[in-house]
């Protein structure tokens, strides 16, 4: 069975992720297949809209092919660069696609799954949605457009999510605008059948299926998050948390002490730059330059070892503290690539 199912039903084109044993994590081949399908459907006037979901099993999409990235990063990095290049082209193509695209985020939606869903015009959350960008826990950073999407969330919630990797449920996704609609999972199959039967009524069908998601608990901490994560300097965030004796601050500080100091600094700088980006292609170009360097640095290889390979969950970060990560190192990571090596959108 193919890892990506691309099919049509009436006026609807369907992209279905189909790697259930890997929670539908994306491979380079899946990203390329998405691009190919979108290109085929772009000029097909019988196709009114595109849907993205998972074919079977749990999850929506748990991320990308982390093992491949780590194995490549430990070598010459060429396979990692190829993966990022095609994945970011897919992200950008979805962002600029003329036809309506709806993603059904029914389950785990992490990393690459965020990059797949957030460019879509419509994003449906359910009670099963658990959205997160947990990359700092493995020495990576919230890429696939994270610098764009997270920097545009209310207040400093994006910075909080980028550093902590906290999971966001369906109610909070809707409250923050990460989801446009909230639909009970039991209603999804009927909704998809309705869309296949009446694709021209996509927005009205989504609006009709939408229900009140209930209380978004994350927003109870909005004031604390805005205050504690007010700075774009990781050291200042730590200082603010250390000076606050609330249970939330203590728990958040404990979480941040498990993350890569280097990629926490990368993440805050990415969001600071992303907030001022005028074009999504510029965001992807910068993220590609950063990703190709971070993936070959110690913290990513060590994070994958600790969390995914050995599973001891005891990464030894280098440097071990934010103070040890120099501005010079961060500037090197963010330096533009030579034109011949830079990311480019799909033609």
pLDDT at 57: 84
| Mean pLDDT along residues 227-254 | 98
pLDDT at 139: 97
The whole-angstrom separation of Cα 213 and Cα 132 is 18
What domain range includes position 73? 4-341
Let me know if 165 is a catalytic residue: no
Domain membership flag for residue 347: no
Active-site annotation holder among 11, 59, 64, 113: 64
Let me know if 245 is a catalytic residue: no
Please determine, for residue 1, whether its predicted confidence score (pLDDT) is greater than 80.
no
Which band of pLDDT confidence, cut at 50, 70 and 90, is reported for residue 131? very high
| Average model confidence (pLDDT) across the chain | 97
The whole-angstrom separation of Cα 67 and Cα 17 is 19
Domain membership flag for residue 86: yes
Cβ-contact 28, 65 below 8 angstroms? yes
| Mean pLDDT along residues 198-219 | 97
Tell me if residue 31 falls in helix, strand or coil: helix
pLDDT at 113: 97
Handedness of CA 115, 345, 65, 100 (dihedral sign): positive
pLDDT of 132-175, one tens digit each?
999 999 999 999 999 999 999 999 999 999 999 999 999 999 99
Query: Mind giving me the DSSP string for 79-93?
Result: HHHHHHHHHHHHHHH
CATH number, residue 325: 3.90.226.10
DSSP state of 182: E
Active-site annotation holder among 135, 169, 287, 299: 135
49-54/100-105 β-pairing:
parallel
| Mean pLDDT along residues 42-65 | 94
pLDDT of 286-324, one tens digit each?
999 999 999 999 999 999 999 999 999 999 999 999 999
The whole-angstrom separation of Cα 154 and Cα 250 is 23
Domain membership flag for residue 346: no
Domain membership flag for residue 157: yes
The whole-angstrom separation of Cα 308 and Cα 284 is 26
Number of CB atoms found within 10 A of residue 39's CB: 12
Please determine, for residue 196, whether its predicted confidence score (pLDDT) is greater than 80.
yes
Which band of pLDDT confidence, cut at 50, 70 and 90, is reported for residue 346? confident
Domain membership flag for residue 299: yes
Please determine, for residue 344, whether its predicted confidence score (pLDDT) is greater than 90.
yes
Tokens of 87: 């994945």
- Report the number of distinct structural domains present in the chain: 1
Active-site annotation holder among 11, 63, 107, 112: 112
Let me know if 112 is a catalytic residue: yes
pLDDT at 285: 98
Active-site annotation holder among 143, 169, 283, 302: 143
Which band of pLDDT confidence, cut at 50, 70 and 90, is reported for residue 56? confident
Please determine, for residue 347, whether its predicted confidence score (pLDDT) is greater than 90.
no
């Amino acid at each position: 069975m193919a890892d990506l199912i691309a099919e049509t039903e009436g006026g609807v084109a369907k992209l279905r992720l189909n790697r259930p044993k890997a929670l539908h994590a994306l491979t380079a081949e899946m990203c390329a297949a998405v691009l190919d399908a979108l290109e085929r459907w772009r000029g097909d006037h019988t196709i009114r809209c595109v849907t993205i979901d998972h074919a079977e099993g749990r999850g929506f999409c748990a991320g990308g092919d982390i093992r491949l990235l780590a194995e490549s990063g430990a070598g010459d990095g060429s396979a990692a660069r190829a993966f990022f290049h095609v994945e970011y082209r897919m992200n950008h193509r979805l962002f600029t696609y003329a036809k309506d695209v709806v993603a059904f985020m029914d389950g785990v939606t992490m990393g690459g799954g965020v990059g797949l869903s957030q460019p879509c015009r419509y994003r449906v959350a359910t009670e099963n949605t658990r959205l997160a960008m947990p990359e700092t826990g493995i020495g990576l950073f919230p890429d696939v457009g994270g610098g764009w999407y997270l920097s545009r969330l209310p207040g400093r919630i994006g910075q909080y999510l980028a550093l902590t990797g906290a999971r966001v449920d369906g109610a909070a996704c809707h409250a923050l605008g990460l989801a446009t609609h909230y639909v009970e999972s039991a209603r999804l199959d009927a909704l998809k059948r309705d869309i296949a039967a009446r694709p021209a009524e996509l927005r009205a069908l989504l609006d009709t299926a939408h229900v009140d998601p209930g209380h978004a608990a994350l927003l109870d901490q909005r004031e604390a998050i805005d205050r504690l994560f007010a700075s774009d300097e990781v050291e200042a965030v730590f200082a603010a948390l250390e000076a606050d004796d609330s249970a939330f601050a203590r728990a958040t500080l404990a979480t941040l002490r498990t993350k890569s100091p280097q990629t926490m600094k990368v993440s805050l700088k990415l969001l600071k730059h992303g907030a001022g980006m005028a074009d999504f292609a510029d965001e992807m170009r910068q993220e590609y330059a950063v990703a190709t360097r971070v993936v070959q640095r110690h913290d990513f290889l060590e994070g994958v070892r600790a969390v995914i390979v050995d599973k001891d969950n005891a990464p030894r970060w280098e440097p071990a503290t934010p103070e040890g990560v120099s501005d010079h190192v961060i500037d090197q990571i963010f330096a533009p690539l030579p034109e011949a090596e830079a990311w480019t959108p799909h033609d």
